[in-house]
Amino acid sequence: MNVILIAVIVLGSVGLIAALVLFFTAKKFAVKEDPRIGQVNEVLPGANCGGCGFPGCGGMASACVKAADEVGELGSLFCPVGGQPCMDKVAAILGLQAAAAAAPKVAVVRCNGTCENRPRLVSYDGVQTCRIANTTCMGETACAYGCLGCGDCVAACQFGAISINPETGLPEVDRAKCTACGACAKACPRNIIEIRQVDDQKQGMVVTCMNKDKGAAANKACAASCIGCSKCKQVCGADAITVENNLSYIDAEKCISCRACEEACPKACIIMLGEPRKKIEKKPAAAKPAAAAKSESSAPAVKNTNTRPYDKPIEVKFDAPLLPSQQYMLAGTVDLVQGEGKNETIEKVEHNYEASLPVSQQILLGIKTK
């Protein structure tokens, strides 16, 4: 009985002493938080999207209170999700005058590489994420700058404002739902999504291409690619277009939406947001004059003298034993001469070698022939 009583007293004393130490330590090192931070945090939407530039709404609330104490105004602090009504409430809590409404912004997909404009060359069978596809391969098309179509931007959007169009294979932004938080732009590994300033109707001119290759290479990769011809820049009266690295760019703050660049673009890669994308019209080949066609038809046929050695296959004997699979590899697209034995001959080009190696080794090593 005495042992149990002593144990209870000792443990109780240790617990009491530890509690007193923790209490006075908490009082000594307590961090006092401005109550206005909690009030501001309550009026923020609570999306924690990071569109304001801070990790979450708590960080935004702290920044607003700090700006009010040090600067006396909110400055460039703005919540893209809550918009101007939310910032008006924040200003009222902090006793500041509401700042002027910021220009509306919206996410824009700067790629017009639809299935029709940018044919698929291969099939990607890996993990269906754009980030992994971008690091492991160039994509399914010949364009190394365009959309990969795996939908990382769709997964990043918390507001359901972006989706993949099954017909074009490209993401489309619902401008009415978009809050310009920038989550989709951060998720895109190729940076083809841009948060752009738009007018009150959320419209504006934009170049829907990110290809920086020269004109011929860009045109080969995609029918709707920018070729850097500068025709849009020449007709722009607001000096809003620049051409750098074979790619045009429209400054949204300078653009007056006169649409002259849209008409001048020969590749239809400049569009007005909110309107359907233009289809590339393939021009038919110009018909030759009748006289030229008649002269070509009456001209005598010219015999092709550019003959290759393997136009006339010659039997070659290999002095080293080869498997049928090796024979096929060496023959390439030339037909094999199958026989009864395993080490038969194949029909291929006759080669004269100066090296002392066996013929089979010379072919495997790729030694040049005479």
Weakly modelled stretches of the chain, pLDDT under 50 = 285, 302-314, 332-355, 368-370
250: which DSSP letter? Answer: E
DSSP-assigned letter for residue 311: G
Residue spans of the domains in the chain: they are 35-94, 105-272, 310-365
Give the model's pLDDT for residue 280: 62
Computed from CA positions of residues 10, 15, 21, 27, in that sequence, does the dihedral angle turn out positive or negative? negative
Residue 282's pLDDT is 54
Closest CA to 74 of 49, 51, 52, 97: 97
Say how far apart CA 171 and CA 163 lie, in whole Å: 5
> What phi and psi, each to the nearest 5 degrees, are found at residue 247?
-140, 135
Cα separations (Å) of 223 from 119, 193, 218, 344? 9, 20, 8, 50
CATH topology of domain 105-272: Alpha-Beta Plaits (3.30.70)
Supply angle C-alpha 189, 173, 245, rounded to 5. 45
- Asked whether 149 and 132 are in contact (CB, 8 A), the reply is no
CB 224 within 8 A of CB 281: no
The overall longest dimension of the chain from CA atoms, in Å, is 127
* Residue 318, pLDDT score: 53
Residue-wise pLDDT for 33-88, tens only, equals 788 989 999 999 988 888 888 888 999 999 999 988 888 888 888 888 888 889 99
Q: Class assignment of domain 35-94?
A: mainly alpha
Read off the pLDDT of residues 141-159 as tens digits, 9 standing for 90 and up.
989 999 999 999 999 999 9
Give residue 80's pLDDT: 87
Q: What is the DSSP letter of 51?
A: T
- H helices of 254-301, in order, are 260-264, 290-298
Inter-CA distances, 28 with 15, 34, 245, Å = 20, 18, 60
